[in-house]
Amino acid sequence: MSEPMPGVESTAGDSDSDGDSDGPRSGEAYDPAAPAPLHVPREPTGDAGVDARLQRLADADHLTTDGHLEVYEDVHRGLRDALTALDARPGPPAPPTPYPESRS
């Protein structure tokens, strides 16, 4: 019983029974620009807007590499806007400042 080494493909009798492989199928040439899902887990942040932007990153999994930039820029813009909105929210009023003593 030998375990396959990571990154090394076996060619002896392997078959992909479910047909859902992320790599090139036998007979297909490797194309580094072809879509290759990374399957990066995304943990919920608790903020629906931020979570939606992070989920948008999954769209890049189905695009060729030249399409990633648009997705990344969109996500970056949305996250930047969310951070900017945190600064724009009105907070509690500032405490009143005492009047300076008059020197008469």
The answer to the question of residue 60 being in a domain is yes
Within 10 angstroms of residue 61's Cβ, the number of other Cβ atoms is 15
From the list 5, 30, 69, the residue with the least C-alpha distance to 21 is 30
The model carries a pTM of: 0.53
**Confidence at residue 78, expressed as pLDDT on a 0 to 100 scale:** 95
Indicate whether 31 belongs to any domain: no
Whether residue 81 is contained in a domain is answered as yes
Residue at 9 is within a domain: no
Residue 42 lies in a domain: no
Provide the pLDDT for residue 11. Answer: 46
Q: Is residue 19 part of a domain?
A: no
Q: Which of the 8 DSSP states describes residue 94?
A: P
Q: Which residues have a Cβ under 8 Å from the Cβ of 45 and sit 6 or more positions away? A: 51, 54
- Work out whether the CA dihedral 26, 31, 32, 34 comes out positive or negative: negative
DSSP codes, 3-33: PPPTT----SS---TT---SSPPTTPPP-TT
Question: How many domains does the chain contain in total?
Answer: 1
Which amino acid is present at 77? R
Cα 47 to Cα 32: distance, rounded to the nearest angstrom: 35
- Residue 77 domain-assigned? yes
Residue by residue, pLDDT tens for the chain (104 residues) are 455 545 545 444 444 444 445 555 666 788 777 787 878 888 999 999 999 999 999 888 888 888 889 999 999 999 999 999 888 767 777 788 887 766 65
Is residue 58 domain-resident?
yes
Host domain of residue 56: 48-87
pLDDT for residue 73: 96
